[in-house]
Structure 1
Amino acid sequence: MTTVVIVDDHAMFRAGVRAELGTDVDVVAEAEDVDTAIAAISAHRPEVVLLDVHLPGGGGVEVMRRLGPTDTKFLALSVSDAAEDVIGTIRGGARGYVTKTITGPELVDAIRRVADGDAVFSPRLAGFVLDAFAGSIEVAAVDEDLDRLTEREREVMRLIARGYAYKEVAKELFISIKTVETHMSSVLRKLQLSSRHELTRWASDRRLL
């Protein structure tokens, strides 16, 4: 039976994943941040790690970087379907990337395939990776631009670019409309854009929507 460590900063989500996996795989440990992930993976040496992309302490890529070369395979399981997260995580060493809309049986199948050495992606996400390797997404440029933004600014940027109103963004992220306006002004300034329309075009060109 495939041994698995679940890494996610939400205890209820980890419990839900464990329940969905049932007895089809052997969940040997859970972790909630970068440090506990490294400790659990080092102690148990699982065949597969289900790894969230955004974690306290540096994120999923930081876990893989600090562990260095290992026989353990990493499968990203994230709410994010953004191109920069997918490409960055694969570049960081993950063998696959699936979103949290995946069903339990599909996740079990993805874990087994990754353990066997396959690369596994949700269908839409595979396109990002192919585009990146084909050169139609300038990965370096995407990374450089996004590095200027904080994680919260990225969240606001993506929702605004997708057509959300400020009020909707505030509700989605549990922040005030004034805070959304502040983040939006900062995003436009850092990216040297002048309008919401330009931001949408900028994000679309980079496959961030």
Structure 2
Amino acid sequence: MNEPLDRSGASLRVVVVDDHAMFRTGVRAEIERAGIVVAAEAEDVESAVSAITDAEPDVVLLDVHMPGGGGAEVMRRIARRGPATTFLALSVSDAAEDVIGIIRAGARGYVTKSISGPELVDAVARVAGGDAVFSPRLAGFVLDAFAGTIEVAQVDEDLDRLTEREREVMRLIARGYAYKEVAKELFISIKTVETHVSSVLRKLQLSSRHELTKWASDRRLI
């Protein structure tokens, strides 16, 4: 693989933003092996904005969900500060609302954390060169959103009623998880899961788990 370079011939410079230190370490090892320079790392919105402003990287590898408001909030704050920055979302989530939301906020691409090291290096180089890059399944969400197949405005309006934790619970319940499994996955009590499910059903004006699953499936949230 050729070393990824910017337009001046210098090595690409990247800021890695993710709230899991071990994941950042793995990403750094993979992309530095290919000659990409990791100019800085950050773990939340505040540290990300500071790191990106100071480092002025070619590309920001940005997690979607993290403390302080998430990837979209990072992009909003950076956009207010001056020159355009190129963002590549790198997330464990493959939910339609996350993909569409982060692209609408200004990301140049979206890949999941199941991506291989060489694929990630290629994605960074491509977005740095002006291409849009998506994991294969996720590209369909974006195309459907622009084609009107997914009613993005309605999805956003409904989801805005839910807290971040309620969204997590909603997605797991819709995928068929039992309350006990949701509690274990999110490190919360079963009672708390029940409370969140009741709140989700009330806010979305649904009456059963079956209706919730259909609601989420219709909007490609699972």
Unmatched tracts of structure 1, length 5 or more: none
Q: Secondary structure at the match of 1:40?
A: helix
Counterpart AA for 2:75: M
The one-letter code sitting in structure 2 at the alignment partner of 1:18 is R
Is 1:41 matched up with 2:22?
no
What are structure 2's unaligned runs of at least 5 residues? 1-10
- Alpha-carbon deviations, 1:56-109, whole Å to 9, x = none? 111111111111153421000011111111000000000000011111111000
What is the aligned counterpart of 1:32 among 36, 39, 43? Answer: 43
Tell me the TM-score normalised to structure 1 length: 0.97
TM-score, normalised on structure 2? Answer: 0.92
Counterpart of 1:13 in structure 2 is 23
Find the aligned partners of 1:70 and 1:104 in 2 and give their Cα distance. Answer: 29
CA deviations on 1:158-209 (whole Å, 9 max, x unpaired) are 1111111111111111111111111101100010000011001100111101
Match of 1:176 in 2: 189
> 2: distance between equivalents of 1:89 and 1:23?
28
CA–CA distance in structure 2, aligned partners of residues 71 and 193 of structure 1: 41
Structure 2 partner of 1:86: 99
Q: Pairwise mapping of residues 1-209 of structure 1 onto structure 2 (< 5 A)?
A: 1-24=11-34, 25-68=36-79, 70-209=83-222
Q: Separation in 1 of the partners of 2:62 and 2:114?
A: 15
Secondary structure, counterpart of 1:98 in structure 2: strand
145-154 or 167-176, which moves further after superposition?
167-176
Conservation of the 8 A alpha-carbon contact between 1:47 and 1:71: no
Q: Matched residues in 2 for 1:117 and 1:62: separation? A: 22
Q: Give every structure 1 segment of 4 or more consecutive aligned residues whose post-TM-superposition deviation is greater than 4 Å.
A: none
Q: Which moved more, 1:168-177 or 1:94-103?
A: 168-177
SS, match of residue 33 in structure 2? coil
